[in-house]
């Protein structure tokens, strides 16, 4: 059995990385465009490529950690009983939208083929399958 406090700490660490990237990236992009005129190749690589790679890695680490926590604490059932709102939706091959709930979300992240960050809009992350 896993130790819930340690798994929770790891989830919090990874969530902070994902959250920081998602909300800071548009602001950082604006500042770089305004203040760093000319060629700043290494700065841009750090801000655009390396930060996204780290956010992807944190997301991939977090999904199985959330699954472990769900297994130990039965979070999916708790959310179902509380009638928690879906965490998003999945567009099926026929165009039909299906609600995305907690366990489904972890599955999509773990088994997705790619991530596409859509920062600044209503959708933050798209997972490719």
The pTM (predicted TM-score) of the whole model is 0.80
pLDDT digits (tens, 9 = 90+) for 73-116: 999 999 999 999 999 888 888 989 999 999 999 999 999 888 78
State how far the alpha carbon of 123 is from the alpha carbons of 5, 103, 119, in Å: 30, 19, 7
Nearest to 68, CA basis, from 16, 14, 120: 14
pLDDT digits (tens, 9 = 90+) for 9-55: 999 999 999 999 988 888 888 888 888 888 888 888 888 888 899 99
Q: Is it the case that residue 124 has pLDDT exceeding 80? A: no
Can you tell me the distance from the alpha carbon of 115 to that of 125, in angstroms, rounded to the nearest whole number?
Answer: 7
For range 53-80, the mean pLDDT: 95
- Strand segments, DSSP code E, in the chain are 88-91, 97-100, 114-117, 125-128
């Amino acid at each position: 059995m896993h130790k819930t406090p340690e798994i929770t700490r790891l989830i919090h660490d990874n969530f902070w990385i994902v959250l920081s990237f998602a909300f800071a990236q548009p602001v950082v992009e604006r500042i770089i465009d305004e203040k760093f005129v000319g060629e700043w190749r290494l700065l841009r690589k750090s801000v655009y490529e390396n930060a996204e790679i780290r956010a992807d890695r944190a997301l991939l680490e977090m999904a199985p950690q959330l699954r472990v926590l769900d297994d130990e604490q039965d979070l999916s059932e708790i959310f179902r009983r509380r009638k928690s709102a879906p965490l998003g939706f999945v567009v099926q091959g026929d165009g039909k939208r299906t609600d995305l709930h907690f366990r489904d979300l972890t599955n999509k992240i773990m088994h997705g083929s790619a991530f596409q960050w859509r920062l600044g809009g209503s959708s933050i992350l798209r997972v490719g399958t």
